[in-house]
Amino acid sequence: MTQQAVLGPFTEAAIFLVAVVSPDGENGVRELLADVPGLRRSVGFRIPEGELSCVAGIGSDLWGRIFPGGPRPAQLHPFIPLAGDRHTAVATPGDLLFHIRAHRLDLCFELAQRLTARLAGLGRVIDEVHGFRSFDERDLLGFVDGTENPEGEEASSAVTIGVEDPAFAGGSYVIVQKYLHDLTAWDGLAVEHQELIVGRTKLSDIELPDDVKPSNSHVALNTIVDENGEEREIVRFNMPFGRVSEAEFGTYFIGYASDPDVIEQMLRNMFLGSPRGNYDRILDFSTAVTGTLFFVPSLELLEGLAEPEPDTSAAEGAIAGAEGAAANGLEPDADNDDGSLGIGGLKGVST
């Protein structure tokens, strides 16, 4: 199955749209979602070097409304709010997410305009954020953001649903949160103090040694290790945003994973603490004001949403083929010429 453009490049501009769907808008929204790839092509084809992309996500409640009693992604559920001793991760509404990226804001803007025009009468956008690249991929706190993203096959494995949920293979999960920063208080700290809170050096972006990095630093609490000692990874495409006249300065967190639990564990560490009470000190300066979880269908599933029932047979067949091939000494082709993940394509392993 072909993944949506989850693993697109870092870009200079992004628009994040979160929308809710009206009670009678389900059928029209299914048609809109199926048309998202075509709308993106219509806008992006004119300026291919702009690398316009759009990832569409579907919230838990809307999925149930679109396909009542039908098949459901195994880990799709509402965002889980967290109330720590000092800070709270709030859950906010959201049926649809459109993550629009390009090297030019005008491309993002036109696609956002076309999507919202199609949404008229079916639902409404409740949160719109225009993100921008800040210098060398820094957030508004002055630190480089996204350094530890996995790359290549590791990135694909981190974000792509596979044999664990074959009907929805090629899909992903995404969690979004909008954080607002108290820059006055943050900028009042010495750089050395800021570095201890983040867990990295500010200028050179080097992770602090373990014997220096505090256990309540952002980096320490966001490093998740499984029972085998392997680090569980996600892919982030965070962007700064703001309105200077309103003294609004923020980071839009957007994290993709094949299993949302890894992001949720990060959030539990941050807001509740690990151990309890040892919360992420960055939260003393950054407040989460939104929180929503979405399922990102494969491209085939997305384009098939206009049909009465989601066609998951292709994914099931692809996974069955991949499993059978593995038993015969073959492996899935993860690098097809068409840009797909190649779950159903096979290649021989040289011996």
* pLDDT of amino acid 335: 40
The answer to whether residue 194 scores a pLDDT higher than 90 is yes
Confidence of residue 314 (pLDDT cuts 50, 70, 90): very low
* pLDDT of amino acid 312: 59
* pLDDT of amino acid 322: 45
The answer to whether residue 41 scores a pLDDT higher than 60 is yes
Supply the residues annotated as catalytic: 145
The answer to whether residue 248 scores a pLDDT higher than 70 is yes
Domain boundaries, the chain: 13-321
Compute the mean pLDDT over every residue in the chain, rounded to the nearest whole number. Answer: 90
Q: Indicate whether this model's pTM tops 0.85.
A: yes
Reduce the DSSP state of residue 86 to 3 states and report it: coil
Cα(first)–Cα(last) distance of the chain, in Å?
27
Give the whole-angstrom CA distance, residue 262 versus residue 232: 7
**pLDDT per residue over 110-167, tens digit each?**
999 999 999 999 999 999 999 999 999 999 999 999 999 999 999 999 999 999 999 9
Determine which of 25-39, 244-258, 313-327 has the lowest per-residue pLDDT on average.
Answer: 313-327
The answer to whether residue 101 scores a pLDDT higher than 70 is yes
What are the b/e assignments for 255-276, b being 16+ CB within 10 Å? bbbbbbebbbbbbbbbbbbbee
**pLDDT per residue over 206-225, tens digit each?**
999 999 999 999 999 999 99
Give the whole-angstrom CA distance, residue 240 versus residue 158: 24
- Residue whose token pair is 């399922």: 295
